[in-house]
Amino acid sequence: MGGQSLLYTTTVLTALGFMLIGYDNGVMGGVINNPPFQSTFGHPSSGLLGTIVAIYEIGCFVGSLITAVVGESLGRKRSIGIGAILMLGGAAGQAASSSRGAIIGTRVLSGIGMGFINSTVPVLQSEVSPKATRGRFVCFQLSLLNAGIMLAYWVGYGFTPMTGSKAWRIPVALQCVFIVPIIALLFFVPESPRWLAAHGRTEESLDVLARLQGKSASHADVLAQHTEICHAVELENSIGSGTWRDLLKEDEIKSRRRLVIACSIQFFQQIGGINALIYYAGTFLALVTTSPALVSGALFTWFFIASFIPWFLIDSAGRRPLLLVCISAMAGCFAVEAGLVWKITVDPTDTAAGRGATAIYFLYIALFTIGFQAVVWVYPSEILPLRLRQKGSAISTACNWITNYAIVQMTPAALDNIGYKFFIIFAVINAAFLPPIYFFYPETKGLSLEAVDLLFSLTDRGHKPSTLQELKADLTVIEANNATPVEERPVVRV
């Protein structure tokens, strides 16, 4: 297998990982309000219900930290394989649980497995994708992530009329439909060529590059890319070995700043409130509609459909414009939603406010997938340097999951206690994202992963690139000359 078929096979593997993330995020939201689930676990309080749902995020956090420690030595394939096996055991355990302790313990196990997968599949995809369409490949994965969420809610809705614990056990067990193919595909997908080069296996790296391009190892295009990768490895090795201490160094390629950017965008994604809506869509929609389960299914079907829009934008409009425009509109959605939910609280018969609030949910979730979700998984893997990519990606993913846990844990109690004011808080939080993104996040569209190192270490020499086109022209000259970046870099604002 080689060429496009190998690239697409690798993409299917990583996309299944994202679909599994989506299904896992949505499945509990689709079943926790069903009477059979409530009956099996003794009608848990809102606090305990939050723990049952959110404890999975703690497992994901722990799994991400473990991956940060061992993932680089294991490699991309083995990290994904370990995660898939752990998730297979966790899914089976959840489906068989009949006590609160069992469901909590097995959700932690599943979460640890997901931490391995979630930390690694974006890295693998970014390291095998062509630079010109790297964003589009990640968008394909995210469409499947949203398909997983959509499927989880429709499965939950479909099992709602059923009686007995099978109404929630079967939807939970269906996680295995995604896990088993992931394990099978690992036998056909090669290791990342950049990981191989970084670990001294240059001949294997060259062979994988040739297979991915569908050309011979002696072809000029293959050799050029291989030379660029090896040059980046040499540059990074000359700076440091990629240790934990190196993550916090403000070295020649700005490793510390790049780690902060990778962690902050993952933190922003979760603290902005998206998973409060995804995990508790039925609870939120019960505030504004009389058919929350049906509308939840429609909402996440729209989430899936809208995820195709950034396919055509992320590699043309770029990362920064999508973030800035859509996050601004998301903050506005929360502000309007607060007012509409307040009106419904005052007058539950106000059907116009209910319809408006429902429409805002649909608008918000489209803005999120177009401008935030499409960027948040591709950007950290682009930003982080090769020698620190696995560690940095795992740490940024850990930031994602621990913040996700906090949001999911506190949402039921927050809705009970502050009602519509919950939305005001998230309006303010989303607006606060805009200054750091504008001032500190560089544009990376169209740049090879090796060129991003040059972006952060580009020489000043009395000249500062003022546009993306000018920056890319400078990078082209440097790459063509195989120049090693020198000490000083400009303030890059693109």
Q: pLDDT tens-digit profile of 207-231?
A: 988 888 888 888 888 888 888 888 8
Return the ∠ at Cα 269 (arms to 265 and 272), rounded to 5°. 125
- Give the position of tokens 């400078």: 474
CB distance 47 to 384 below 8 Å: no
Joined tokens for residue 372: 């935030």
Whose structure tokens read 């394939």?
77
CB neighbour burial string for 90-110, b if at least 16 within 10 angstroms, e if fewer:
bbbbbbebeeeeebbbbbbbb
Helix, strand, coil tally for the chain in percent (to 5): 75, 0, 25
Judge whether residue 330 has pLDDT over 90.
yes
Confidence of residue 294 (pLDDT cuts 50, 70, 90): confident
Query: 159 falls in which pLDDT band (50, 70, 90)?
Result: confident
The residue-averaged pLDDT of 242-262 equals 78
Choice among 266-275, 281-290, 299-308, 410-419 with the minimum mean pLDDT: 281-290
Instruction: Answer whether 104's CB lies under 8 Å from 90's CB.
Output: no
CA distance 441 to 456: 11
pLDDT tens for residues 81-126? Answer: 999 999 999 999 999 998 999 999 999 999 999 999 988 888 888 7
CATH number of the structural domain 4-196+247-440 = 1.20.1250.20
Interior CA angle at 18 toward 185 and 392, to 5°? 100
The pair of three-digit structure tokens given for residue 378, joined into one six-digit string: 């591709």
* Residue 492: per-residue pLDDT: 34
The residue ranking higher by pLDDT, 126 or 172, is: 172
Q: Which of 317, 274, 314, 320 is nearest to 426 (CA)?
A: 274
Judged against a pLDDT cut of 70, whether residue 290 lies above it is answered with yes
For residue 32, give the DSSP letter: T
Instruction: Report the pLDDT averaged over residues 371-381.
Output: 79
- pLDDT over 90 percentage in the chain: 23
Confidence at residue 325, expressed as pLDDT on a 0 to 100 scale: 93
Average pLDDT of the chain is: 82
Q: Looking at residues 194-200, what average pLDDT do you find?
A: 87
Separation CA 448–CA 52 (nearest Å): 42
pLDDT band at 71 (very low <50, low <70, confident <90, very high): confident
Which tokens in the block code for residue 259? Answer: 């780690």
- Report field, pTM of the whole predicted structure over 0.85: no
What separation in angstroms does the CA of 46 have from each of 24, 64, 272, 283, 425?
20, 27, 21, 11, 20
